[in-house]
Chain A
Amino acid sequence: MHIIVCIKQVPDTKHVKLDEKTHTLIREGVESIINPYDMYALEEGLRLKDQFGGKVTVCTMGPPQAESALREAVTYGADETVLLSDRAFAGADTWATSYTLAKGIEKLGPYDLILCGKQAVDGDTAQVGPGIAERLSLPYVTWVRKIEEIKDGRMKVQRLMDDGYDRLELPLPALLTVVKEINEPRVPSLKGKMRAKNQKIQVFGVKELGVDPDQVGLQGSATQVVKVFPPPRLKERAWIEGTAESQVTQVLDKLNLLKVI
């Protein structure tokens, strides 16, 4: 099986601070990590490799320093690594990012499965995974909490829902985005750490990918961040207690008082 895992290097949100004026992340001096949800995708890929054989290729788009995230993936057991990096890719929104990643994946040749984390902890959009699948015309399932079975070119998966889970079947190749319930990521191995030191990282830019420069980066982005602001604080809150009936009465009273109904 050839499994491609898409990862993103993000600031370690455990230690990140916000600029009080611009409300953007202060990235200076903050350690970069692999997006935690992507770690579950990587682990699932490694488990499938352990089970079925084959290889795991890890792919990321980012600045040159994102190479360290790929090396880290190798310490866990990833076989090959690809960095999509070019000045032209900067400022990409999810539209341009999914286009670029899809182009990178096409260049990697035949594959059976693409795995992504459900979302990145910095942008929180959860759009890039499905975006890649749409670009590649692949079937996809988001929020996968379990791969039940892979057999005869088809797979059965469970999708986590608010009130339980769905069971879905889809043909391969396909794309899944995974939630943290799917597994518990392993720890790097000594052999992996040794290999990561000398791992050759392939770098693809606009030229190597043969992409249209107008479709990548800021140029190719359909959205722009105009302003970042903290959500308005709710001024007044009230806690309603009592039996269900009395709670309904209390809510109705309040709504009447506010002339909402």
Chain B
Amino acid sequence: MDYFLTEEQQMIKEIARKIAEEKIKPIRAELDEKEEFPRELLRVMALSDLFGVYIPQEYGGFGGGAFENCLAVEELSRACLGISTSFAASGLGAYPILLYGSEDQKKKYLPEIAGGRKLAAFGLTESTAGSDAGGIMTTAELKGNEYVLNGTKQWITNAGEADIYSVIAITDRSKGPRGASAFIVEKGDPGFGFGKKEHKMGIRASATGELIFNQCRIPKDRLIAREGMGFIVVMKTFDMSRPGVGAQAVGLAQGALDEAVQFARTRIQFGKPIISFQAVQHMLADMATLTEAARALVYAAARFVDSGAKDLSKAAAMAKVFASDVAMKVTTDAVQVFGGTGYMREYPVEKMMRDAKILQIYEGTNQIQRNIIGQELNKEGGRKKS
């Protein structure tokens, strides 16, 4: 379908697709097998200016928004979700600075992130705080001109690989959610280290691990916005980034659908290609329809985000929840179309199915997304006093 992209948006798609086809596809299975971080591929993306598509030109970016980022992420995800996660997580780490950073912070960090010279990451989750961000134990205490951080973040994408980390820590426990604050921590800051690297079911080319703060001292001007703004920073960051997760899901589903169609056209059973059987056709038809519906929703949500609208949470959550459920279904059905072949590591669809699961979990589980949508419906209903 034609989404009436501008010439610039078309360029972003073309470049990301070229990288996906020529650079990612040939090595995706190997990176998955070895759980190897795609350092070289991220360099290729940096040289192609992809890291800066959503960053304003004044900070060295291309000047696009969430939608442009979605277009890049979708094309990369068609080839490999693990690699697109490593790419997209840098954006997740950059958004707190882009949305709430001071002018000095933006000038210092954004051009480096936009140019892909430095990779960013976002540190929120802890062993006691996943869906319940109120369980954060990591603390930050102001001592003179420095904040001192203590605690451990877990399951952080790009942990150890990124140079710049947006981290949420508690500055005043007595204030509950209003006692959290966001900070920029750099690799190499004293007292900042990394724990074990996780072994995962899918997106195995991405790095996931612990951030360990042990009397970690950072200059006090690394605070993002003001003390107590931490949760607002998190929520607004997710509002921006969730359509991106939706775009990952659309790309992955499209990749699986493409593989399934090609296979069904060439696999002969009962003397015919299996695509000539209605049972297979109907599966493919549903896969294609769901993928296109997810794309339309993700694009609409991303454009809504870029329109400067205020209440983004519901649209962003809808894009994430619907597209990721679609990706799970479409990749599972792609394996089914492939039959026994699809279960084998030699073919790409088993990896796609393993990769899909994380989309229903990270950046807020799909249950949490539904909570957000439900709460927004309740709020909207309350405003209509008819």
Task: Please state if A190 and B47 are interface contacts (CB–CB under 8 Å).
Answer: no
Task: Please state if B49 and A187 are interface contacts (CB–CB under 8 Å).
Answer: no
In whole angstroms, how far apart are the Cα atoms of A191 and B12 in the complex? 10
| Contact string against A for B residues 1-33, beta-carbon threshold 8 Å, 1 for contact and 0 otherwise | 000000010011011001100110000000000
Q: Which residues of A are found within 8 Å of B14, using beta-carbon distances?
A: 188, 193
Within 8 A of A (CB), among B43-93: 44, 47-50, 53, 62
Within 8 A of B (CB), among A158-208: 186-191, 193-194
Could you write out 30 A-B pairs with CB less than 8 Å apart? A186-B44, A186-B47, A186-B48, A187-B15, A187-B22, A187-B23, A187-B44, A187-B47, A187-B48, A188-B14, A188-B15, A188-B18, A188-B48, A189-B47, A189-B48, A190-B8, A190-B11, A190-B12, A190-B15, A190-B48, A190-B49, A190-B50, A190-B53, A190-B62, A191-B62, A193-B11, A193-B14, A193-B15, A194-B8, A194-B11
Q: Which residues of A are found within 8 Å of B47, using beta-carbon distances?
A: 186-187, 189
| Contact string against A for B residues 263-294, beta-carbon threshold 8 Å, 1 for contact and 0 otherwise | 00000000000000000000000000000000
Q: Which residues of A are found within 8 Å of B12, using beta-carbon distances?
A: 190
In whole angstroms, how far apart are the Cα atoms of A187 and B75 in the complex? 14
Q: Would you give the shortest CB distance from A88 to chain B, in whole angstroms?
A: 36
Q: Which residues of B are found within 8 Å of A188, using beta-carbon distances?
A: 14-15, 18, 48
Q: Would you give the shortest CB distance from A131 to chain B, in whole angstroms?
A: 32
In whole angstroms, how far apart are the Cα atoms of A194 and B14 in the complex? 13
- Where the two chains meet, the residues of B that have a C-beta atom closer than 8 Å to any C-beta of A are 8, 11-12, 14-15, 18-19, 22-23, 44, 47-50, 53, 62
In whole angstroms, how far apart are the Cα atoms of A189 and B19 in the complex? 11
Chain A contributes a number of interface residues (CB within 8 A of B) equal to 8
Q: Would you give the shortest CB distance from B80 to chain A, in whole angstroms?
A: 15
| Contact string against B for A residues 45-89, beta-carbon threshold 8 Å, 1 for contact and 0 otherwise | 000000000000000000000000000000000000000000000
Q: Which residues of A are found within 8 Å of B8, using beta-carbon distances?
A: 190, 194
Task: Please state if A189 and B44 are interface contacts (CB–CB under 8 Å).
Answer: no
In whole angstroms, how far apart are the Cα atoms of A154 and B239 in the complex? 56
Q: Which residues of A are found within 8 Å of B53, using beta-carbon distances?
A: 190
In whole angstroms, how far apart are the Cα atoms of A187 and B53 in the complex? 16
Q: Which residues of B are found within 8 Å of A187, using beta-carbon distances?
A: 15, 18-19, 22-23, 44, 47-48
Q: Which residue of chain B has its CB nearest to the CB of A193?
A: B11
Given contacts A186-B44, A187-B44, A188-B14, 16 further A-B contacts (CB under 8 A): A186-B48, A187-B22, A187-B47, A188-B18, A189-B15, A189-B47, A190-B8, A190-B11, A190-B12, A190-B48, A190-B50, A190-B62, A191-B49, A191-B62, A194-B8, A194-B11
Q: Would you give the shortest CB distance from B361 to chain A, in whole angstroms?
A: 31
Q: Which residues of A are found within 8 Å of B50, using beta-carbon distances?
A: 190
Q: Which residues of B are found within 8 Å of A189, using beta-carbon distances?
A: 15, 47-49
Q: Which residue of chain A has its CB nearest to the CB of B64?
A: A190
Q: Specify which of A186, A190, A194 lies most central, judged by the most chain B CB atoms within 10 Å of its CB.
A: A190
Q: Which residues of B are found within 8 Å of A193, using beta-carbon distances?
A: 11, 14-15
Q: Which residues of B are found within 8 Å of A190, using beta-carbon distances?
A: 8, 11-12, 15, 48-50, 53, 62
Q: Which residues of A are found within 8 Å of B23, using beta-carbon distances?
A: 187
Q: Specify which of B18, B48, B53, B62 lies most central, judged by the most chain A CB atoms within 10 Å of its CB.
A: B48
Q: Specify which of A186, A187, A188, A194 lies most central, judged by the most chain B CB atoms within 10 Å of its CB.
A: A187
Q: Would you give the shortest CB distance from A57 to chain B, in whole angstroms?
A: 20
In whole angstroms, how far apart are the Cα atoms of A189 and B48 in the complex? 4
In whole angstroms, how far apart are the Cα atoms of A193 and B8 in the complex? 9
Q: Would you give the shortest CB distance from B30 to chain A, in whole angstroms?
A: 15
Q: Would you give the shortest CB distance from B38 to chain A, in whole angstroms?
A: 14
Q: Which residue of chain A has its CB nearest to the CB of B50?
A: A190
Q: Which residue of chain A has its CB nearest to the CB of B20?
A: A187
Q: Would you give the shortest CB distance from B5 to chain A, in whole angstroms?
A: 14
| Shortest 5 CB-CB contacts between residues of A and residues of B | A190-B49, A193-B11, A189-B49, A189-B48, A187-B48
In whole angstroms, how far apart are the Cα atoms of A191 and B46 in the complex? 12
Q: Would you give the shortest CB distance from A196 to chain B, in whole angstroms?
A: 10
Q: Would you give the shortest CB distance from B78 to chain A, in whole angstroms?
A: 15
Q: Which residues of B are found within 8 Å of A194, using beta-carbon distances?
A: 8, 11
Q: Would you give the shortest CB distance from B229 to chain A, in whole angstroms?
A: 33
Q: Would you give the shortest CB distance from B69 to chain A, in whole angstroms?
A: 12
Q: Which residue of chain A has its CB nearest to the CB of B19?
A: A187
In whole angstroms, how far apart are the Cα atoms of A199 and B318 in the complex? 43
